[in-house]
Structure 1
Amino acid sequence: MRESLDHFRIALAQTGVGSSDFDLNPDTVLPAGRVLRPAGVLAPIVEGPDGLNLLLTKRSAALKHHPGQIAFPGGKQDEGDVDVIAAALREAHEEIGLPPECVEVLGTLPPHETVTSFHVTPVIGFVKKPFNILPEPGEVDEVFAVPLDHLLNPENYVIQSRRWRGQMRHYFVVPYGPYYIWGATARMLRAWTEIIQK
């Protein structure tokens, strides 16, 4: 297990190219002078009986933005956050009850630009000890674990399409059981597979 974590740490230390929701849609024209808001999300790795897993959340169906979608815990950087890593840790504590002191930060992926104008930095962290998962009422419907081997295998990713704002939009999907992991979450995970394959 420690060998895998060390491999992640070394891979994440490399400088990489950022990703975006537009990677598979090269014809998209982005507005000049757009302002992106900094945000951080946490990819919490936990040790399971069969190996390493990643915790993900299913957003509440009652939310205005991205209801019911699969996401990392995280959110925008607030004034009180030292950086996007601090934002990711704070949000993970608020959303799933993960204490920041339980997380060993292994590194970050290059930032990801979303269609909602966020500049999201994925923070990869190992959860050093068990904690009580406490989904935030009204925001998180479910917290679940996915084998990391499944998410870091590029062969498990497919490209799908749907019409969005009058145009066809293409995006990555990495299905797992009943969970439809797509969009920005799948793209950031796909970027992680690219980094560790180098």
Structure 2
Amino acid sequence: MTHTELVHFFQHAARYPTALREQRNLLLDTPQPREAAVLLATVYRHRQWQLLLTRRADTLRHHTGQIALAGGRRDPQDLSLIHTALRETAEETGIGCERWQTFPQLPPYYTPTGYAVSPVPAVCPYNPNTQANVGEVAEIFYLPLDFALHSGNYTRREFQYNGRTLHVPALPYRHYDIWGLTAMILYDLAERYRQYRQAV
């Protein structure tokens, strides 16, 4: 995928619906969720587009060791959810906000902990240097975008909440087990890309 094609997709990705997100949000509906945002941080590395992912530090109180997109909760001083995603990414990975070209945020995903998490697509046309915040991030690694956009690479797992069960995606990659909200966002990105390709 060329830079122009990737930018065009990210400019329009939010317009494509994803049924599984809607089912999951109905299951996890929260009256007044707290806002959060994550960055779908896409860099050009080793002659291909790759998504930057983190493995959360084992010292954190919640979600220790899980694979995540960089991001976090919205602070009162954040001007927007895009600002939230960029600020949190800078804090976690050391990549400055000015490195990214951002695009319209995707619709939010509810979490069992009461958050509404909005993914923000972003592109850096080279491979920026990183400096992991060891208090939050145990490892920074990269997932080829082509791999994430191929729905056949995903498996299914049972997600149970309040006595109800939903089959949700997981994404095995090398020795990493990508599941939960991260896998859901990536799977939906693949679904959005499928619809985008049919439309253009």
* TM score, norm. by length of structure 1: 0.87
Q: Which of these residues, 67, 81, 86, is aligned with residue 83 of structure 2?
A: 86
The size of the alignment, in residue pairs, is: 194
Q: Distance in 1 between matches of 2:114 and 2:20?
A: 13
Instruction: Describe the superposition over 1:17-65 as per-residue Cα deviations: whole angstroms up to 9, x where unpaired.
Output: 5865962x97x5756xx32011110011111223110000000111111
Q: Indicate the structure with greater helix content.
A: 2
Q: Which amino acid aligns with 2:41?
A: P
Shift in Å, 1:192 = 1.0
Name stretches of at least 5 consecutive residues in structure 1 with no aligned partner.
none
Instruction: Describe the superposition over 1:104-126 as per-residue Cα deviations: whole angstroms up to 9, x where unpaired.
Output: 01332221111111111100100
Q: Distance in 2 between matches of 1:18 and 1:80?
A: 33
Instruction: Describe the superposition over 1:147-184 as per-residue Cα deviations: whole angstroms up to 9, x where unpaired.
Output: 00011111111111366777766431011001100010
> Mapping of 1:31-70 within 5 angstroms?
34-70=31-67
Query: Does the alignment pair 1:180 with 2:166?
Result: no
The answer as to whether partners of 1:41 and 1:72 remain within 8 angstroms in 2 is yes
- Single out whichever of 126-135 and 167-176 deviates more from structure 2: 167-176
Name stretches of at least 5 consecutive residues in structure 2 with no aligned partner.
196-200
Quote the residue 2:100 is aligned against.
Answer: 103
Shift in Å, 1:128 = 3.6
Query: Does the alignment pair 1:113 with 2:110?
Result: yes
> Mapping of 1:110-189 within 5 angstroms?
110-161=107-158, 170-189=167-186
The answer as to whether partners of 2:18 and 2:191 remain within 8 angstroms in 1 is no
Quote the residue 1:14 is aligned against.
Answer: 15
What is the aligned-residue identity percentage? 35
Q: Partner of 2:120: helix, strand, or coil?
A: strand
* TM score, norm. by length of structure 2: 0.86
166 and 13 in structure 1: CA distance in 2 versus 1, 3 angstrom threshold: closer
